[in-house]
Structure 1
Amino acid sequence: MTADIKEIFAEHKWLWLAVGVLIFAAGALAAIWLNAKNAEHIDAPVMEATVTDEASRKINESITEAQQRKNKLSEVVKSAKNNVMHNIADADDVCIADRWNGLLGRYRESRTSAGGL
């Protein structure tokens, strides 16, 4: 009988490939089964799990706070625009000219102190 098997493999070389694939598949299935079986008994270290949970919580809080600040930004800009419009609406021409001259004066002073740059 062994002579028959040797002759079959000698005649059909592709059988070596088929046997190799079958052995590989059996090994892969055994590895998956053993890893799944051993995964039930994994105990995560308590300290590392606690630290990881705390870090995740802080990151989530930071993201939430940043989102809230971003949402408030449009309200702040709108409020500033309303304040400016209210201040200008109450001012007369002389007051606006005084403010404009003050801005120009500060601009000229900054240009002179920077050497014209």
Structure 2
Amino acid sequence: MAANVKEIFAKHKWLWLAAALLIFAAGALAAIWLNARNAEHIDAPVMEATVTDEASRKIGESITEAQQRKNKLPEVVKNAKDNVMRDVADADDACIADRWNGILGRYRESRTPAGGI
């Protein structure tokens, strides 16, 4: 008396769970086996790898430089304010008016050749 598979699964419901777990485990092992790669045997084109490494290094340097500039900005603004206050403190009204007129003159000269743009 040979029992067929349908009758066995109908009689023992827990076999469905066991079969599902077995199929899942087999699929996981197959995925790991198919996706496993040995890094020593990957043949990446040398030129592309070199260019990518160089680009990554330059991007990293640019980010570092931008961060340093950002961190330095409050100090630069404070120093500029201190310099202006020191220069203005020693000047009288006529000197300040002369400086201001010079700045306005340079501004107007730079705008005139561009057609007022």
How does the TM-score come out when normalised to structure 1?
0.64
Cα pair distance change 1:74/1:6, threshold 3 Å: closer
The share of aligned pairs that are identical, in percent, is 74
Q: Which runs of 5+ in 1 are unaligned?
A: 111-117
CA drift at 1:14: 4.5
The one-letter code of the counterpart of 2:29 is L
**2:88 — aligned with what?**
88
1:6 & 1:85 partners in 2: Cα distance? 94
Cα pair distance change 1:8/1:55, threshold 3 Å: same
Per-residue CA distance 1:20-75 (angstroms, 9 max, x = gap): 33122112113213432xx0132222222112101101101111221222233223
Q: Please report the RMSD computed on the Cα atoms of aligned residues, expressed in angstroms.
A: 2.9
Higher percent of residues as helix? 1
**1:44 — aligned with what?**
44
What SS does the aligned partner of 2:55 have? helix
**2:62 — aligned with what?**
62
1:35 & 1:2 partners in 2: Cα distance? 41
**1:23 — aligned with what?**
23
Q: Which runs of 5+ in 2 are unaligned?
A: 109-117
What SS does the aligned partner of 1:3 have? coil
**2:11 — aligned with what?**
11
Alignment coverage as a number of residue pairs: 100
What SS does the aligned partner of 2:44 have? coil
1:5 & 1:88 partners in 2: Cα distance? 99
How does the TM-score come out when normalised to structure 2?
0.64
